[in-house]
Structure 1
Amino acid sequence: MENCKEAFTPMSTSYYMDADLAGTTVDQTKFRGLIGSLLYLAASRTDIIFAVCLCARCQSNPKESYFKAIKRILKYLKGTTTVGLWYPSHSPIHLVGYSDSDFAGCMLDRKSTSGT
């Protein structure tokens, strides 16, 4: 992945991750290792949390299409190495949260992805 082409977004806007029942199965250990590393990185890179958590749901039976989604996240990270959260020790932290209503946004079970 060192010489890969960079991606501008962590997920494709035209591809929906659905239940890939007929796809080629990939190595579970490698898949789970990548997911674990990305979840650890997501603590300081909040821009990848949604994409990583979407891929993490497929750990029990990883397919090639899910592995391609993880590669897309890695390509995005390669292009955005200077992006991240910085927590200075001398200034107070003011947390602001935003929400977007997304009713039936999940393509798998048609549940809300925003928790409403």
Structure 2
Amino acid sequence: MTNCNPCNTPVDTSSKIRADIGEPVKDPTFYRSLVGTLQYLTITRPDITYAVQQICLFMHDPREQHFNALKRILRYLKCTITQFLHFNRSNISSLTAYTEADWERCPNTRRSTSGYCVFLGDNLISWSSKRQHTISRSNAEAEYRGVANIVAEAAWLMCCVFGAF
């Protein structure tokens, strides 16, 4: 992938990855190895967390479209090779949290995906992106589930960082 064309986003937003479409990859072990490497990279590159989570869903039976999604992440990394997570010295003045939910995004299960990130001062200290356990009936319900996740995380961090509660 050294000479590949870089791309600006880690995920193709116009198409959804499905579990049952396409030919199986020729070397599933190689696919799993690359996915594992990308999982490790998410520690300092939270911008690829969602994309990596999506390709992890198919590690048991990877298909060509899943491998193409993996290659897109690699192309994105080539474009953004100088970007990574910086931890800077800062005065700990606040804990700030953001959350988002994507209603019925998964075409296979119809479950929503929710995610959050938490900043301590200027530094990102916690983040998550995962499929919700239950099917939401509306976008508002999916958002409420996401808010519940971030409130639990923020409460735990408040106890750890500030000794609150």
TM-score (norm 1): 0.89
Deviation at 1:91, TM superposition (A): 3.1
Deviation at 1:113, TM superposition (A): 0.7
Q: Which runs of 5+ in 1 are unaligned?
A: none
Amino acid at match of 2:24: T
Kindly provide the CA deviation profile for residues 11-45 of structure 1, in whole angstroms up to 9, marking residues without a partner as x: 11111001224x21111110110000000001100
2:108 is aligned to 108
Please say which structure displays the higher CA radius of gyration. 2
1:66 is aligned to 66
Q: Secondary structure at the match of 2:32?
A: helix
2:2 is aligned to 2
Q: Would the aligned equivalents of 1:35 and 1:56 in 2 still touch at CA under 8 Å?
A: yes
Please identify which structure carries the higher helix content.
2
2:90 is aligned to 91
Please identify which structure carries the higher strand content.
2
Kindly provide the CA deviation profile for residues 55-91 of structure 1, in whole angstroms up to 9, marking residues without a partner as x: 0010000111100000000000000011111113x43
Q: Would the aligned equivalents of 1:20 and 1:65 in 2 still touch at CA under 8 Å?
A: no
CA RMSD of aligned residues (A): 1.6
Deviation at 1:99, TM superposition (A): 1.3
> Structure 2 matches for 1:36-51, cutoff 5 A?
36-51=36-51
Q: Which runs of 5+ in 2 are unaligned?
A: 115-131, 133-144, 146-165
Q: Would the aligned equivalents of 1:103 and 1:111 in 2 still touch at CA under 8 Å?
A: yes
Amino acid at match of 1:25: P
Matched residue count: 114
TM-score (norm 2): 0.64
Amino acid at match of 1:11: V
Percent of matched pairs sharing the same residue: 42
Distance 1:101 1:2 in 2: 35
